Structure 1
């Protein structure tokens, strides 16, 4: 059995899907600044080159691979691109994702299936490709889940289901790799609401443009968590203390969490009428009228549950009492 050893970022080659914007682009830029050689992948070759150009201008090493994570064969293409360019892979980040806003009764099943092609099967294909390569060499597999990996929310039911599936797959894969003695660290990242093009790339079945429930955090915070997991083994990393709170509430007080449905529904609906813009469900696309979030948090109280479990438990317990009291007064 080979011992797990994760290299410093400056010695790593890092593959990142969904690298043309948002979390993926932020992670690629941060990794390159730290000296890593980066391979970024996405469907839109033009947007990939824009990100790559900004990295090169800053002196970073980067290459691109236009591919669709929903196509199994494209992951071998991505791996080969990394091997041809840099000779190896040390960390693989499955980050690409898309969402749909609308009640489950109004979202066509065909669209829900397409979401799973990207958000679930894209992670499965990437994970199996990466771990087959890393079994003999060692390294890190990092899957980007969500706070809704633990607690579903209304209006994004298919996305919640896919992120639940990603969590189940990641947990099972981790155990199997441990049983095999494979020198691979497997981490699930669970961000809260993040300031990206997430809502602008979403398919929308509401009569208004979508938005995200507050608080909203900067993508750089997720990048920091991903790069932390690339250097030291972690099981789960929460980004934004509210992510851990929502997870704790979902597990410890599911009935109370259900009562937040009204607040969650209201805070995913903007006051901007819905447009007929293209979206990113089937092909690359960005909605133009979706409002940008305000008051984005550049810092977070988030702490990993394994490093500060007691503090997070007390925080979660306190918030549960506060919310329970507020709901009681409201009734």
Structure 2
């Protein structure tokens, strides 16, 4: 049995913005002690203030996701302050919007280093502490771990690498009876600041593929897994539809992407290719949890709410529903967080 959220110490890498930021606030509101880590010191300060405003205790740790030393220091400081780690949530990410042939070698390496290697290093650093608490490692991954899409080759590859790595690690932990769970969260299109802060080589403003959802929906799914571990949890019906559609007919997915894969990933607004981005360095200021799409983003997902409700009782009915729905309608494009 996992500890109740009110008794947990939760560490969030990438806690200064987007899903990680929304998660920090939601976890604090449930009584958890929260440690947030990122490069942006100013944003981390605001994140801790939100944790305290929600009635929780918070700690900010500045560090670089690709540093093994920083990963170990993050875990050590969390344990020094709060005594243990019950749940470690990896949300940190970078991206480059570009066609595959336009990606430079250093851009590919950086995306893989942050999104894959950085999470693997966090897992290694957190694992001794999670063994002690019989806790949970949660990787906020993406449905794009299963389905590559145009303009996001580097991001998709990094997510696929993470999924394979944690799939292997999950079996190893079970063999050794560690009591540690690994959960993968697979969000759909989420309204986070990454669409303004990620590198783009397209000359237009990127956007999450509609329908767009608010990050608080993903935060609730993560907190569910912190108490009720699941192997993988698609968040939003769009994400679930993607997974089943890919199983049913990858070629159908190709055809959808040929028609919609470019136009639905941009607002159409011009944006200079040399705009500031956070690939190598953080961008000053506090990005917060939400991106620019509040007027279009949905605050709830009936599919996700049903999945979480039924998941608590161990019901598999929702899985049957997802199979039926995936077979009936694979009409959308793949989604990402």
Asked if Structure 1 and Structure 2 have the same fold, meaning a TM-score greater than 0.5 normalized by the shorter chain, the answer is: yes
Q: Confirm or deny that 1:316 pairs with 2:335.
A: no
Aligned to 1:263: 260
Distance 1:294 1:192 in 2: 17
Q: How far did residue 270 of structure 1 move?
A: 2.2
Distance 1:99 1:194 in 2: 15
Aligned pair partner of 2:138 in 133, 139, 142: 142
SS at match of 1:281: coil
- Structure 2, unaligned runs of 5 or more: 333-337
Aligned to 2:297: 296
Aligned pair partner of 2:283 in 282, 285, 290: 285
Q: Mark the CA change 1:286 to 1:200 in structure 2 (over 3 Å): closer, same or farther.
A: farther
Aligned pair partner of 1:24 in 7, 20, 24: 20
Q: Mark the CA change 1:286 to 1:160 in structure 2 (over 3 Å): closer, same or farther.
A: farther
Distance 1:66 1:116 in 2: 21
Spell out the pairing of 1:1-331 with structure 2 (5 A cutoff).
Answer: 5-261=1-257, 262-275=259-272, 276-285=274-283, 292=293, 294-300=295-301, 301-302=303-304, 303=307, 307=316, 308-320=318-330
- Structure 1, unaligned runs of 5 or more: 324-331
Q: How far did residue 280 of structure 1 move?
A: 0.9
Q: How far did residue 222 of structure 1 move?
A: 0.5
SS at match of 2:149: coil
The number of equivalent residue pairs is 317
SS at match of 2:147: coil
SS at match of 2:185: strand
Deviations 1:136-188 (A, max 9, x none): 33111101100101111110110000001111011111011001111111100
Q: How far did residue 291 of structure 1 move?
A: 5.5
Q: CA RMSD in A?
A: 1.8
Q: How far did residue 54 of structure 1 move?
A: 2.0
Distance 1:253 1:294 in 2: 33
**2:34–2:51 contact (8 Å) kept in structure 1:** no
Which ranges of 4 or more aligned residues in structure 1 deviate by more than 3 Å? 290-294, 304-307
**1:102–1:205 contact (8 Å) kept in structure 2:** yes
Q: Mark the CA change 1:202 to 1:189 in structure 2 (over 3 Å): closer, same or farther.
A: same
Distance 1:178 1:45 in 2: 37
Higher mean C-alpha displacement, 279-288 vs 173-182: 279-288
Distance 2:162 2:295 in 1: 29
Aligned to 1:328: none
Distance 1:192 1:183 in 2: 29
Distance 2:132 2:207 in 1: 44
TM-score, length-scaled by structure 2: 0.90
Distance 2:121 2:256 in 1: 35
Distance 1:251 1:282 in 2: 36
SS at match of 1:209: strand
TM-score, length-scaled by structure 1: 0.92
Deviations 1:190-212 (A, max 9, x none): 00110111211210100212112
Higher mean C-alpha displacement, 52-61 vs 302-311: 302-311
